[in-house]
Amino acid sequence: MQFDHEEKILVHGFAGDRYIAVSDVGSKEASDILFCLPGILEVKSTFLELHSLIGKDYRIVTLDYCGRGNSDYLNNYNHYKISTYIEDVLAIYEYIIHTNKSSHPILRKFNQNVWRLQGKSIHLLGNSMGGLIAAVIAIKKLPSVCSLILNDISSLIPWTGLFSLYGNLSQSTFNISNYGNFNNASDLAKTLHVDPDLLKAVMQATHLDIPYANTMNGIEFKSIFNSLTVPLCLIYSTDSKLVNSIAINNLKKYSEDVKLIGVAGSNHPVKLDENTIKELMRFINQKK
213-214 sheet: strands from edge to edge: 156-158, 218-220, 213-214
Residue 48 domain-assigned (yes or no) = yes
Residue 239 domain-assigned (yes or no) = yes
- Residue 83 burial by Cβ neighbours in a 10 Å radius (0-12, 13-18, 19+): middle
Residue 1 domain-assigned (yes or no) = no
In terms of residue numbers, what domain contains 117?
Answer: 7-286
Residue 102 domain-assigned (yes or no) = yes
Q: ∠ at Cα 215 (243, 41), nearest 5°?
A: 45
N residues, the chain: 288
Compute how many other C-beta atoms are within 10 angstroms of the C-beta atom of residue 266: 13
Report the amino acid identity of residue 261: I
Residue 2 domain-assigned (yes or no) = no
For the chain, what is the domain count? 1
Mind giving me the DSSP string for 59-95?
Answer: EEEEEPPTTBTTSPPPS-GGG-SHHHHHHHHHHHHHH
Ranges assigned E (strand) in the chain: 7-11, 18-25, 32-37, 58-63, 121-127, 145-151, 156-158, 174-176, 180-182, 213-214, 218-220, 232-237, 259-263
CA 15 – CA 91 distance, rounded (Å)? 14
- The CATH number of the domain holding residue 155 is 3.40.50.1820
Q: Are 133 and 221 in contact (CB under 8 A)?
A: no
pTM: 0.90
Residue 247 domain-assigned (yes or no) = yes
Summarize pLDDT for 235-259 with one digit per residue, the tens.
Answer: 999 998 899 999 999 999 999 999 9
Residue 191 domain-assigned (yes or no) = yes
Residue 250 domain-assigned (yes or no) = yes
Confidence band of 177 (pLDDT split at 50, 70, 90): low
Summarize pLDDT for 121-167 with one digit per residue, the tens.
Answer: 999 999 999 999 999 999 999 989 999 999 999 999 999 888 777 65
Query: Which of 100 and 187 is assigned the larger pLDDT?
Result: 187
CA 143 – CA 64 distance, rounded (Å)? 23
